[in-house]
Chains A and B, each alone.
Chain A
Amino acid sequence: NAGVTQTPKFRILKIGQSMTLQCAQDMNHNYMYWYRQDPGMGLKLIYYSVGAGITDKGEVPNGYNVSRSTTEDFPLRLELAAPSQTSVYFCASSYSSLPRAPYEQYFGPGTRLTVT
């Protein structure tokens, strides 16, 4: 199992450009998440998904969009990049069998994004 994979590892964007961060998992997890980590801080949730076709906002969703067409993939789209989006982005996944809350989350290696 590769676990949770993310591409690219690093990216530099100019203000106003757009890009998509890719995330995939091969653990057959139904829940997937995007977090961002600013310097010296813990992670904050951007968006999450409880299954294919279902997504919802987290704590800091402004400036981002997501979609989930398959169980395995959960891309994060940045539109009109701004310096405030300079951060490290982590994708995660977990499994849940309702009504139980999800089990532990597993994280990808992260994408370091700089917007200048």
Chain B
Amino acid sequence: DAKTTQPNSMESNEEEPVHLPCNHSTISGTDYIHWYRQLPSQGPEYVIHGLTSNVNNRMASLAIAEDRKSSTLILHRATLRDAAVYYCILSVPTDSWGKLQFGAGTQVVVTP
């Protein structure tokens, strides 16, 4: 199964942008790139996902490299509530839909 590689941790100042990198060099053509975040004592929360094109939503932006071997999650203005573990995950196809297999994730620390 395709795997992802992320930095263990990143620190950001409040109201600054945060760029979270993810490498997935073994990605297949049909694998979706998902990002989830998890706050302490909570379940993972969907952030964004994409296949080939860059994606934007109210929470974040996802920039996907042209060769799809890497991607970057962009939080435009970090707040203290954005402090969480961020997981970059490949959705591996099984039958009709995918199977999410989590990597180690990046701990994001936001300082005031």
Do A and B assemble together? Answer: no
Residues of A at under 8 Å CB distance from B? Answer: none
Residues of B at under 8 Å CB distance from A? Answer: none
